């Protein structure tokens, strides 16, 4: 019962929609993943014609001729899409930086654990790498 409440969207005020949200809804409708009415229900959009207005304003469909528009996108539209991509990439970068930080912390922790185990059990756990040993078999030298 609680999960159903979490999945329901709360109705929003008229000016509560961000540009990235509008573009996301428009792209979802244009790809055919969702219809106009379903978008209203799914995202809690109040106006019955709001999504259609977004499609007319931001979409690639030519509403006068009822065909997909082959015209180049306006500079404003290109700029908005690029800004949206920049925000997405910034989020991805922050996520990856956090993962890298966690991985670095794990490496330090594992090194400490190995050091403690080597001291405790007096057994070498790490392999000792000899520089320049990448070619040939160990112990054999070429006769040339």
3-state class of 7 per DSSP? helix
CA distances from 39 to 9, 17, 44, 48 (A): 11, 13, 8, 10
List alpha helices for 8-144, DSSP H.
19-30, 36-43, 50-58, 75-121
Q: Name the packing angle between helices 50-58 and 36-43 (round to 10°).
A: 110
Q: What is the pLDDT of residues 16-42, one digit of tens each?
A: 788 888 888 888 888 888 888 888 888
Domain range list for the chain = 1-71, 72-124
CB contact at 8 A, 36 and 51? yes
As given in the structure block, the two tokens for residue 140 are 């054999």
For residues 94 and 88, what is the distance between their CA atoms, to the nearest angstrom?
10
Q: What is the pLDDT of residues 119-131, one digit of tens each?
A: 999 988 888 777 7
More confident residue, 144 or 14: 14
């Amino acid at each position: 019962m609680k999960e159903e409440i979490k999945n329901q969207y709360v109705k929003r005020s008229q000016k509560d929609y961000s540009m990235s949200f509008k573009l996301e809804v428009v792209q979802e409708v244009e790809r055919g993943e969702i219809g106009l009415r379903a978008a209203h229900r799914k995202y809690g959009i109040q106006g019955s014609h709001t999504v259609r207005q977004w499609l007319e304003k931001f979409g690639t469909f030519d509403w006068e001729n009822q065909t997909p528009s082959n015209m180049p996108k306006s500079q404003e539209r290109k700029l908005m899409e690029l800004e949206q991509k920049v925000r997405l990439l910034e989020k991805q970068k922050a996520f990856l930086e956090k993962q890298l930080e966690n991985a670095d912390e794990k490496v330090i922790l594992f090194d400490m654990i190995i050091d403690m185990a080597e001291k405790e059990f007096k057994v070498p756990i790490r392999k000792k790498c000899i520089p320049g040993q990448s070619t040939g078999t160990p112990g054999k030298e070429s006769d040339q």
